[in-house]
Amino acid sequence: MAKRGGFPGGMPGNMNNLMKQAQRMQRQMEETSKELEAQEYTASAGGGAVSVTVSGKKEVTAVKIAPEAVDPDDVEMLEDMIMAAVNEAFRQMEEANSSAMAKLTGGLGGLGGGFPF
């Protein structure tokens, strides 16, 4: 007579290993997230006339504007340069985050995908 609740073929040992690996990966992801939040990413636009720094926490931490970029008759160009620099800095941050997490997950495609079951 078979045991109730048992797994044929020694499944509990494999499940234990899988759980340990998942917990280790979770700790590594938390550590990596903290490291990424502490980093800063700087991008510039307009040949360096505008530069923006963002943190890994998705916050703008600095904006630098060269005096020659401030033209009262062409505010739109300054606005465009600021927007371009902010978008590029955030793109750099997202790329670094994606790259770091891909290294941890080994290309699992996120926690919901890539598993053979």
> pLDDT tens digits, residue range 98-112?
888 888 777 565 554
Instruction: Assess whether pLDDT exceeds 60 at residue 113.
Output: no
Distance CA 35, CA 57 (A): 10
**What distance, in Å, lies between the first and last C-alpha atoms of the chain?**
28
Distance CA 52, CA 79 (A): 12
- pLDDT per residue as tens digits for the range 56-95: 999 999 999 999 999 999 999 999 999 999 999 999 999 9
- pLDDT per residue as tens digits for the range 12-40: 678 888 888 888 888 888 888 888 888 99
**Can you list the alpha helix ranges (DSSP code H) found in the chain?**
11-38, 75-105
The pTM (predicted TM-score) of the whole model is 0.66
Please report which confidence band the pLDDT of residue 7 belongs to, taking 50, 70 and 90 as the band edges. low
